[in-house]
Structure 1
């Protein structure tokens, strides 16, 4: 599909986090959302409150299993990942930083592709569209990054489900996202520069900045442009699961994407989570999701008897961004 790329800011005006530090404390609301990387040892949480000012965290974690990764560790034995967030697209995706035998470090290019973050790697200067992981310019053009399993959880859910987990500490510094213009200023993590955009009807950069050139949605069905979608891709097949449609189906959807049997749960927090379908007859009851004689946590895939579902690599993003990448028919429908 055609990608519209434009320059918006100077390179690194929004600073990536390249030396992340973690701890137990989080001084903001327990309802705040985090991107949770639960295959790390210990599990790690990256607050969206911080990511909206940084957009990329270059990290290296331990504890990956064969089921959770398809890349390779670096020379130190760590597992290099990039935790990425585009505030305009509501897209939270974790990528493997190991590509073509090299460990890449990503920064914010200052460009947008269809209103989505364009990352660049500091090794070759190649540019990558965040929502797809595809290299759109440079030495790796046409290549794609490997998606890793991750979940969008509240701080409360993360702490309850992973009591040994750690949280990214406030990175600090300056960011254009903290500024009323294009000049970076010191970050105030109490601020929420995209709060009005997230709750408004418009979408894309023009809607965020309140300028001309706003995009039209044009759909007449039940999807708004900023409906939260969980995208599952298997080989060349892609299917986006809008949270309202999963909820309308009873909160559980079982289907096939490519050759993979998938089960998707919608939560009361407005998110969706996808797992490899073990073949159980899941049902949503007053006590939670039940199947095979026990209760399961839809946000974690963990059963009361300690069994654990295999979380699939997914992309969490707004409906307009999924449509930009995959077209108008790549959405799950119950019929």
Structure 2
């Protein structure tokens, strides 16, 4: 694991006291991280997270860290509780294999964002628990959760708004990683235009920045590429550890649920699937007859980040 200091600590400021509203001023197709805990559902726009990367929040009494690494395209929500204590996370300014390194302000231990594992400090070896969350569009969020709330623009200054290391005032209308997402290369060098990294071209045609849904159940990691699910008609079923899983590819993201033994088939709609005599929403897991599939804890990230963490053999290729 290659760990290096890239920018000063907290030059990208975490959001530690988020506020919420029922209005979002961005485009309908903007991506948000959707999180439901208990009776509360909240959306965290990635447009804002580009400039902050971490949101320390409490949802229905549960301390959570909503995390985003733009270089890795990795969105993961963690429970912030460790051994009975609630941690608060900040941006260390370091990268580990091009992934955000978080630090906790209680012990100053360092954590690899895509893994949720402490890699240095007092808590080294400790793992955070992944919570069920999803990357979807703002439009889909409002359609499926009309009473949900969205994080308001935090404001302030961030290194992500600057050309150098010194934070500059944030303009959320500017997308600082747009060219990076469209380019072929990956990692910090590709973002800064100083070079890229090598990729395993034998991975079933999966590119380094292909979107992957990373599952780890019963200690078994499996990364499911969006393109593989799309090629299968928008739905695949597989076993991860001892659990049966169904993964849906929709017009509003890739989503994984516990499968109670059903055989799902796509419909003419980009978001619904048929099984057991009814129609199921691939974004929410809800059926017309009132049943609901249980969303699984998952990481949404680029293929290269999943490979860095788990190796080339940890992909589902159909």
- Shorter-chain TM-score bucket reads over 0.9
After TM superposition, where is structure 1 displaced by more than 4 Å over at least 4 residues in a row? none
* Bigger strand share: 2
- Pairing partner for 1:37 from 19, 35, 38: 35
Output the TM-score relative to the length of structure 2: 0.97
Structure 2 partner of 1:218: 200
Question: What pairs up with 1:148-159 in 2 under 5 angstroms?
Answer: 148-159=131-142
* Aligned 8 A contact 1:42 1:164 in 2: no
1:308 and 2:308 equivalent? no
* Aligned 8 A contact 1:88 1:116 in 2: yes
Distance in 1 separating the partners of 2:289 and 2:192: 49
CA RMSD of aligned residues (A): 1.0
**Please, which moves more after superposition, 156-165 or 302-311?**
302-311
Question: What pairs up with 1:32-111 in 2 under 5 angstroms?
Answer: 32-62=30-60, 78-111=61-94
Structure 2 partner of 1:16: 14
Output the TM-score relative to the length of structure 1: 0.92
* Aligned 8 A contact 2:37 2:62 in 1: no
Structure 2 partner of 1:73: none
Deviations 1:235-266 (A, max 9, x none): 32100000011111221111111111111111
Distance in 2 separating the partners of 1:286 and 1:211: 45
Structure 1 partner of 2:125: 142
**Aligned length, in residue pairs:** 315
Structure 2 partner of 1:71: none
1:333 and 2:317 equivalent? yes
* Runs of at least 5 residues in structure 1 that lack an aligned partner in the other structure: 63-77
Deviations 1:245-302 (A, max 9, x none): 1111221111111111111111134x31110001111100114311112111101111
Deviation at 1:38, TM superposition (A): 2.1
Classify the secondary structure of the residue corresponding to 1:43. Answer: strand
Structure 2 partner of 1:27: 25
- Pairing partner for 2:266 from 271, 284, 287: 284
Question: What pairs up with 1:316-327 in 2 under 5 angstroms?
Answer: 316-327=300-311
* Aligned 8 A contact 2:215 2:298 in 1: yes
Deviation at 1:154, TM superposition (A): 0.3
